[in-house]
Amino acid sequence: MDLDNRIRAEEVMSTPLETISSKATVREAARTMRDNDINALLVTTGPPSIVTSTDVLDAVAAGHDTADLPVAEVMTRSVETVPPTILLEEVAAMMTSLGIKHLPVVDGEDYVGMVSSTDVTSRIA
C-alpha cells in the first residue's frame, strides 16, 4: 500500500481544539462539550490532560455537585498525544492498546486537534 495515500490524524481530527481550565467546573466542561457537540476537552495543564463526557457522567453518578466540582478532580492526567502526520492505523492501535478513546494532536509545541475513536472508525471502516 502506498504510504502517501493512507489517512493521517490531521485529516480526521476535530478542530479547532476546545480547551478548558483545570479550575473550571465539571458543569462548565459539560456545557462546553454539549455546545460544541464533542466528548472531550483538552485541559490546559502541563503535562496535557483531558476531561471526557465519561468523566462527567462518573462525577454525576457518584453524586458530586458538578456546579462546584473542579475539572482537576475528574480529569485524566498526563495523556498520550500524537503528531498530526501519524497514520490512522497507528492511532487505532494506540487507542486499543491503551484502552482510550481520545488523543490530543500536537504539532511541535502546539495543540492542533483531537482525534477520537469515532473519527478513526468512521474512516477505517
pLDDT tens, position by position, for the chain (125 residues)? 455 678 999 999 999 899 999 999 999 999 999 999 999 999 988 888 999 999 999 999 999 999 999 999 999 998 999 999 999 999 999 999 999 999 999 998 899 999 999 989 888 76
Q: What is the pLDDT of residue 125?
A: 66
Q: What is the pLDDT of residue 85?
A: 96
Are the beta carbons of 121 and 109 closer than 8 angstroms? no
Distance CA 41, CA 31 (A): 11
Beta strands in 37-116 (DSSP E): 40-43, 49-52, 102-107, 110-116
Question: What pTM was computed for the model?
Answer: 0.86
Residue ranges and CATH numbers for the domains of the chain are 3-124 (3.10.580.10)
Distance CA 121, CA 8 (A): 13
Q: What is the pLDDT of residue 4?
A: 67
